[in-house]
Amino acid sequence: MRSLSFVLLFTGWLALQAPAGVVVTKLENPMQLYPALGNAMPLIDVDFNQDGIVDFRFAPGRTGIGGYVYGDTRVLILFDRNPGDIGGYVGGLPLNYWLGETNYLSGYRWYEGGILPSLDHKIFGDRVFTIMTVFAIPIGNHPPLAIAADIRYQNCAVGVEFLIGTNKHYGYVHVDMRQEHDYLLGIGGYIYGWAYETEPGKPVLTAPIAVPAVPARCQIVNLHDGGFNVCWRGTIGGLYRVQGSPVAQGPYLDFTPDIAMITTNGCYTVDPPAGATSYFWRMVRMY
């Protein structure tokens, strides 16, 4: 019998001092981010300078993903969609982009957040943002779900302006919603970590957060005595490997070289170890 394993995600983190005064918080295991859709999902709190004050809070809900802030914190949002009173769509900014008070792409702006829809939300923050909304449209030829989000299908940064004392600082959260994670219609992905510039008022470069290889969702098909095929959806230009282990907790060893994606669908034939009675397999994207 052969088994396919999925990697368990934990909330551990490691703070690293990067060059030029940037402090990076790298999650030891990426955290999943997707709408709760009826299931209980934990809040994801971002505390850039680890002073015990939440600078941005991701809040998965039944109809999407919300965000909350306290005090005078602001978040970069899409400008061409009216934020209204419930918050604007949080922007998905390019990686390796200089982000600051006046450094951001056309079509975006800093926003302090919308008014809380009710006092019940006060336990989450002072102001609210909309990161993603998921609508059911069971009529005509429409798809069953309609999704609105700027971060959808993107490997991107969420920009945050927050205060340390009375000084403004700029930080970002690295969010990966690319399709190799195989969430329905691109509504889910991972948070890899966050970083901020320690010098007040100075823009921060939204550099990718260094992470280990990230699991990509996949399936085993055409199982036969000589092996099987591992199939997955990926990002064109990405590098992937099939890894295996006799035990679910690993360690996992490479069974293939790097596989470069030239289309969004990948499939690879794997020959399992001789004499193995069970094995656990996974597909990972390499960096």
Task: State whether 158 and 186 are in the same domain.
Answer: yes
Task: State whether 76 and 117 are in the same domain.
Answer: yes
At which residue do the structure tokens 């990686």 appear? 95
Task: State whether 151 and 255 are in the same domain.
Answer: no
CB of 171 within 8 A of CB of 163? no
For the segment 94-107, what is each residue's pLDDT rounded down to a tens digit? 999 999 999 988 88
Best CA proximity match to 179, nearest among 241, 238, 137, 242: 238
Considering only residues 25 and 230, tell me which one the structure prediction assigns the higher pLDDT.
25
Task: State whether 74 and 173 are in the same domain.
Answer: yes
**140 backbone dihedrals φ, ψ, rounded to 5°:** 55, -140
Task: State whether 24 and 90 are in the same domain.
Answer: yes
Q: Which pLDDT band, with edges at 50, 70 and 90, does 138 fall under?
A: low
Considering only residues 59 and 270, tell me which one the structure prediction assigns the higher pLDDT.
59
Indicate yes or no: pTM above 0.85: no
Task: State whether 74 and 170 are in the same domain.
Answer: yes
Q: For residue 140, what are the CA distances in angstroms to 32, 133, 144?
A: 33, 21, 10
Region 4-15 average pLDDT: 37
Last residue of a domain, one of 205, 227, 244: 205
Task: State whether 126 and 228 are in the same domain.
Answer: no
Task: State whether 134 and 34 are in the same domain.
Answer: yes
Cβ-count burial of 53 within 10 angstroms (0-12 exposed, 13-18 middle, 19+ buried)? middle
Task: State whether 266 and 218 are in the same domain.
Answer: yes
Measured distance CA(86)–CA(108) in Å, rounded: 17
Task: State whether 127 and 235 are in the same domain.
Answer: no
Task: State whether 153 and 111 are in the same domain.
Answer: yes
Last residue of a domain, one of 205, 234, 258: 205
pLDDT at position 82, please? 52
Number of domains in the chain: 2
Range of the domain at 29: 3-205
Last residue of a domain, one of 205, 240, 260: 205
For the segment 58-82, what is each residue's pLDDT rounded down to a tens digit? 999 888 899 999 999 999 998 765 5
pLDDT at position 276, please? 72
* 160 alpha-carbon distance from chain centroid: 15
Phi-psi region of 124 (alpha: psi -120 to 50; beta: other; left: phi over 0): alpha
pLDDT at position 179, please? 73
Task: State whether 13 and 104 are in the same domain.
Answer: yes
- Give the CATH number, domain containing residue 231: 2.60.40.10
